[in-house]
């Protein structure tokens, strides 16, 4: 019986690994990773209306540190993720970056105390640290 239990467990783990295989050998297979480019710290994980939202530090322009922006991904089960458009794009990205966004968090403002919600839509509010390049 112990042998059967171990065999069953190994088979289940192998099946799960194949089910979520991104088909890219250097991409994380069990945790979210963006389709391309550099990522770092998760900066906000929240749940709203049946969907988990993950915000994370992201360089939309390459595989190294730089152009610090916030990527965004969503999931209904914390296992299957869909990458969304960039939530906070480094100010001036694509030319002269003047502000980059670093660590922080995000909340769902269900009472719209921020006043950011429009047309009855509940806003998500991000709080972050940033670096602003001094003017030359």
Q: Which residues are designated catalytic? A: 41
Contacts of 129 (CB under 8 A, 6+ apart): 101, 102, 103, 104
Question: Which residue from 43, 88, 44 is spatially nearest to 68, judged by alpha carbons?
Answer: 88
CA dist 90 → 70, 116, 120 (Å)? 8, 21, 28
């Amino acid at each position: 019986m112990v042998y059967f239990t171990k065999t069953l467990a190994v088979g289940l783990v192998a099946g799960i690994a194949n089910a979520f295989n991104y088909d890219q050998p250097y991409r994380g297979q069990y945790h979210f990773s963006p389709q391309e480019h550099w990522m770092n710290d998760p900066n906000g994980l929240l749940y709203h209306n049946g969907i988990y939202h993950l915000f994370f530090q992201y360089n939309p322009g390459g595989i190294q540190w730089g152009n610090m922006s916030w990527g965004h991904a969503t999931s209904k089960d914390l296992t299957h993720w869909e990458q969304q458009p960039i939530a906070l794009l480094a100010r001036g990205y694509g030319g002269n970056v003047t502000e980059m966004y670093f660590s922080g968090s995000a909340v769902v403002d269900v009472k719209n105390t921020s006043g950011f919600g429009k047309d009855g839509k509940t806003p998500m509010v991000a709080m972050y640290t940033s670096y602003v390049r001094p003017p030359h």
